[in-house]
Amino acid sequence: MAEQRRDARVGRDVGEGARGARTREVAEAWGELVATARRTVADGLVVGTSGNVSVRVGDTVLVTPTGVPYDRLTPDDAVGVDLDGRQTLGVLRPTSELPMHLAVYRATEARAVVHTHAAHATAVSTLVTELPLIHYMAGALGGPVRVAPYAAYGTPELAENMLQALTRRTACLLQNHGTLAHGDSLDRAYDRTAQLEWMSRVWLLASSVPGLSPALLSREQLEEAGERLRGYGQPGPGANGVSVP
């Protein structure tokens, strides 16, 4: 009998320890999410509360809340949902773009998603159906960056269009809307977002010179660059990012 009580107590302690560890993990992930969301504003990738950020912790997806300025978010404002979109954490309503975020997590191994209204990338999304191959760093995003056809924000249709554009890619443009990038960490998803905005800006600048057209890479050249980029950087966690060699 004493043994049973001791086993029950040990089991309870283990369970509480696991819950405590998960609580700390969620708290740390929320802090990183808020920092990333604030960075999108500081770097000019979003204006006001446009755009949104999410990170997955187990079966919980932490997301920025709708309509709340990022500089006002505190540790007590954490918002989480399960993979079916049911809110499991917090009282603030999740971002209206939740369907896009959940679609990415259901379809990929992504651990983080960043969505912005970056100006140059959004401008490009209104001009082409695929970002022209202006730079080899497109290879770090899986290949030529596609533009998802327009659909109203927050709709299943937009989420489906986005998934099609993301096929074998880690980033895409959303027509007349913005960008979406994912990765195995918030840093990786953010870096891909910034790289996409930079490439969009380069193409717009090169295309704006009267009487001249920018030289573009071939698919073969891009594939070669993609192969080389896979071995770029230091080995181990965090390697093979998208910083330009």
Dump the DSSP string for the chain: -HHHHHHHHHHHHHHHHHHHHHHHHHHHHHHHHHHHHHHHHHTTS--TT-SEEEEEETTEEEEPBTT--GGG--GGG--EE-TTS-EEE-SSPBPTTHHHHHHHHHHS--SEEEEE--HHHHHHHTT-SB----SGGGGGGTSSPBEEPP--TTSHHHHHHHHHHTTT-SEEEETTTEEEEEESSHHHHHHHHHHHHHHHHHHHHHHTSTT-------HHHHHHHHHHHHT-S-SSTT-S-----
**Structure token digits, residue 115:** 């969505």
Does the annotation mark 28 as catalytic?
Answer: no
Residue 144 burial (CB count, 10 A)? 15
User: Torsion-angle region of residue 211: left (phi > 0), alpha (psi -120 to 50) or beta?
Assistant: left
Write down the catalytic residue from 25, 97, 109, 227. 97
Cβ-based neighbours of 212, under 8 Å, separated by 6 or more: none
Q: Which residues are catalytic?
A: 97
